[in-house]
Amino acid sequence: MVSQLFDVSNKVILVTGGGSGIGYGISLGYVKNGCKVYICSRDFEKCKKTAEELSKIGPGKCIAIKADLSKNAEIKVLFKEFSKYEDHLDCLVNNSGCNWGEDLENYPEHAWDKVMNLNVKAVFYTSLEALPFLKKNASPDSPSRIINIGSVDGIRVPNLETYAYSTSKAALHQLTKVLANKLAGEDYNILVNVIACGPFMSKMTQKTFTDFKDIIIGSIATGRFGNNDDLEGLCVFLTSKASNYITGSVIPLEGGLLIKPNL
């Protein structure tokens, strides 16, 4: 039955940066489909409040864990804390990220390092720390998952001067393919894919998207921003049996932004 193909109920999910923006939409989708979702953020009070809100929506539940993934030591703390609740993980969603816009001549080194550290390095080491939990229940018929949240700006040349961000997302797309190749075999049974997101309204994007709304909407074939239903649909698919034969893929979720001609 089709419903069984897409069933993710009772799966254990960890969404980094799951308390806001795209991460919130992803976490909401999993909770609505009966998953047990862990979200982490350096702002624990906000993260805890979001977890309580999502748990009330149900039928799944949400638990908050404090972690600043820009620091390797805290990645280890994250999984030490996670191990108090669970002995396995069905899906890791590497969503935490940051951006920095600055004109070329003045682009600061500390900004480059901050963006590359969180958007690429932290994803790699979070995935490594998660491996024992992801391997625990994984099998060829029921593989575990890693879903990385990339960007269309890792595919195209961005309109804004976000040099480190677009570079980091292109690197993340390549890292996804390399990890997918390594983890697909019987030693791991883990599928790794990346969602290249287009314009989704969030705290990070709100000012830019508000100031340039008409221009951005005009560049999208479907004529709208992405929403939580869009995130839910693709993430549930990539976590379900329906996607058991997909790994190493960069999947655009951008409403036709990449196919719209620039006139």
Window from 18-27, 108-117, 180-189, 203-212 with minimum mean pLDDT: 203-212
Residue 228 falls inside a structural domain = yes
What pTM does this model have? 0.95
Out of 24, 107, 165, 188, pick the active-site residue: 165
Tell me the percentage of the chain whose pLDDT exceeds 90: 83
Give the residue, 212 or 93, on which the prediction is more confident.
93
- C-alpha 230/C-alpha 252 separation (Å) is 11
| Residue 262 located in a structural domain | no
Confidence band (pLDDT; 50, 70, 90) for 102? confident
> Is residue 96 one of the residues assigned to a domain?
yes
Q: For residues 119-129, give the mean pLDDT.
A: 98
What CATH number corresponds to the domain at position 73? 3.40.50.720
pLDDT at 71 > cutoff 80 = yes
Which domain covers residue 171, as residue numbers?
A: 2-253
Query: Which residues are registered as beta bridge partners of 151?
Result: 197
Q: Is 111 in contact with 70 (CB distance < 8 Å)?
A: no
Check if the beta carbon of residue 75 is closer than 8 Å to that of residue 121.
no
pLDDT attached to residue 77: 95
Residue 263 pLDDT level (bands cut at 50, 70, 90): low
What per-residue confidence (pLDDT) applies to 2? 83
pLDDT of residue 101: 83
Note the pLDDT tens digit of each residue in 132-150: 999 999 999 999 999 999 9
| DSSP 8-state code for residue 256 | T
Measure the CA–CA gap between 58 and 183, rounded to whole angstroms. Answer: 32
Q: Structural domain tally of the chain?
A: 1
CB 34 within 8 A of CB 40: no
For 178-231, write each residue's pLDDT tens digit. 999 999 999 999 999 999 999 998 766 777 778 778 888 999 999 999 999 999
The rounded mean pLDDT for the chain is 94
Note if 165 is an active site residue: yes
- More confident: 102 or 162: 162
What's the CA gap between 245 and 215, in Å, rounded? 38
Amino acid at 31: V
- 253 vs 212, more confident: 253
In a domain, 261, yes or no: no
* Inside any domain, residue 263: no
What is the spatial distance between Cα 164 and Cα 160, in angstroms, rounded to a whole number?
11
Backbone angles phi, psi at 251, to 5 degrees: -110, 110
Q: Which residue has the tokens 């990220």?
A: 97
Residue 46: which residues within 8 A CB-CB, separation 6 or more? 19, 20
Please give the residue that has the higher pLDDT: either 98 or 246. 246
Is 259 inside any structural domain?
no
Contacts of 191 by beta carbon, 8 Å cutoff, 6+ apart: 143, 144, 145, 146, 180, 183, 184, 238, 243, 244, 246, 247
